[in-house]
Amino acid sequence: MRYIFLLFLSINIFSSTLHLATSANPSRLNPILATDSSSSEITGFLFNGLVKYDKDLSTIIGDLAEEFYFEDDTTLLFKIKKNVKWHDGKPFSAKDVVFTYEVLISSKISSPYSANFRFVKSVEVVDELTVRVKYKEPYFKALETWMMGILPHHILKDEQNLMNSSFNTNPVGTGAYKLHQLEHSKNIILSAYDEYFEGRAKIDTISFHVIADPMTRFLMLKSSALDVGSIEPMQYERQLDDGFFKKFNIYENISQSYTYLGFNLRLEKFKNPKVREALSLAIDREELVKILFFNHAKVCSGPFLPGTKAFNEDVKVPQQNIQKAKELLREAGYDENNPFTFEIATSNSSEIRPYAAQILQHQLKKAGVVVTLKVMEWQAFLNMTVFPRKFDSVLLGWGLSPTPDPYMFWHSQSDKKGGFNLVGYHNPQMDKMIEESQSMVDGEKLSNIWREMFKIITDDNPYLFLYIPNSITAISKEIKNVEPSPAGIWHNYIEWEK
């Protein structure tokens, strides 16, 4: 008995835990339904796709797939690794891939990721570890589509309502970690999966602390209650002492994301392009970046990120022009006696965005625009404002892939329940260009049409593109083997030690 107790004690003493924070409860721990940042972050540890980007974001490499290649322009073959097991010990097979595809295209679910599979003609099992995917036509993102996490056929084959399934809070994946405990508004604990096909992760447990208040997250990081945490520029410049830098390493690089103010174009007040242009000219993006970020960010000029083949460097950031903004508003029927009024809705999950909303409110006031603010808790913001499209405008951000897919955000067909065209942007010219671009495999032609789209979208002002923040991450010096790269810090997390 004494021996068993000592053995238990030694296991606990030598087990390691990585402490992280998430700003909200995950809505669904299911890769095809994870649309909020908390769900996406956690499912990334639980599930795998067939392929993934390498650490330099330059090449697509195998994940669940051992090998993959195009048999012709429209046929893709995947050979699956032999030693992959689900968290319940069942073997992974080609049947799971076909099942995931069939779920994604079914009418039973509402997922923005379904759009990625719209060019797939068929997905078939060749043998237990081989899948053949046929496309209706050549598709420039054919491979990237299969970065989507795969679902277990043997668990979900008879599920009638995946949207509300218990699987979404009790998931079974193939990832390096499996769900151990889910306590809403408290802790989400993941434990290393012993039979992970790339080898067991060296850190035994990941504990996500659900902390809505950004200041509380920051104070926990400072006190070393968290091992990894994001730092806002003002905190980095003004609120950290030498003691912090002795305990933490800092990794900073430009993020693969941007923040925007999106107008609900379904509302009459935003349908006049003069109004949208006036609002764009009334704000000072440089001032926003300077006040909020202390130069740890850059101004965003459009829908695709700098450094990508879709970026149009000829499109310049609009400069603040209050006089011109007032003229345009007058032409649209607004003046001092009848001011243009609207509400900005955002979430307090980011410390920065409520401040950004206040600065925008102040800047727009100079042009006679009356702005009210609504700041909400993240899940309430999504479920009561964003998803039901009940807003005047939203202050939000998008994280983007190195290869953009304009369809998801800018095509009329993506203005639907579960779609990412949140603002209701409809432009027949844009729809046609997006549709033409999907089957382009010539890189130069694709880049040219993307750059044209960039200009059309920015000219239409469905969003006010605001800023691209730097990602500043603090990692405890107790964590070993961290390798920063263009893909960020997480690409080799199974090698981390504590």
Q: What pLDDT is stored for residue 141 in this prediction?
A: 87
The most distant pair of C-alpha atoms in the chain lies apart, rounded to whole Å, by 86
Q: 75-80 and 60-62 as β-strands: parallel, antiparallel, unpaired? A: unpaired
Tell me phi and psi for residue 173, to 5 degrees: -120, -160
CA distance 201 to 477: 19
Tokens of 466: 């605001």
d(CA 24, CA 81): 35
How many C-beta neighbours within 10 Å does residue 1 have? 5
Pairing of strands 228-230, 393-399: unpaired
Q: Which amino acid is at 173?
A: G
The secondary structure element, H or E, covering residue 38 is: helix 37-46
pLDDT of residue 4: 41
From the list 299, 323, 303, 321, the residue with the least C-alpha distance to 312 is 303
The pLDDT value given to residue 14: 64
Burial label for 268, CB within 10 Å (0-12, 13-18, 19+), is exposed
**Spatial separation of the C-alpha atoms in residues 253 and 498, rounded to whole Å:** 24
Residue 382: which residues within 8 A CB-CB, separation 6 or more?
Answer: 27, 36
| Residue of 372, 278, 281 lying closest to 330 (CA atoms) | 278
Rounded CA gap, 74 and 85, in Å? 30
Q: How many CB atoms lie within 10 A of CB 60?
A: 18
Q: In 3D, which of 128, 190, 148, 136 has the Cα closest to residue 48?
A: 148
Q: In whole angstroms, give the CA distance from residue 393 to residue 351.
A: 19
How many whole angstroms separate alpha carbon 393 and alpha carbon 399? 19
Strand-pair category, 75-80 with 130-135: antiparallel
Handedness of CA 298, 299, 305, 308 (dihedral sign): negative
Angle of CA points 310, 101, 128, to nearest 5°: 120
Please count the other Cβ atoms lying within 10 Å of the Cβ belonging to residue 300: 25
- In tens digits, the chain (498 residues) has pLDDT values of 444 444 434 344 468 999 999 988 898 999 999 988 889 999 999 999 999 999 988 899 999 999 999 999 999 999 999 999 999 999 999 999 999 999 999 988 888 899 889 899 999 999 999 999 999 998 888 999 999 999 999 999 999 899 999 999 999 999 999 999 998 878 999 999 999 999 999 999 999 999 988 899 999 999 999 999 999 998 999 999 999 999 999 999 888 899 999 999 999 999 999 999 999 999 999 999 999 998 899 999 999 989 888 999 999 999 999 999 999 999 999 999 999 999 999 998 888 999 999 999 999 999 999 999 999 998 899 999 999 999 999 999 998 887 888 999 999 999 998 889 999 999 999 999 999 988 787 778 889 999 999 999 999 999 999 999 999 999 999 999 999 988 889 999 999 999
124 in helix, strand or coil? Answer: strand
User: How many CA within 13 A on the CB side of residue 106?
Assistant: 15
Pairing label, strands 248-254, 463-476 = antiparallel
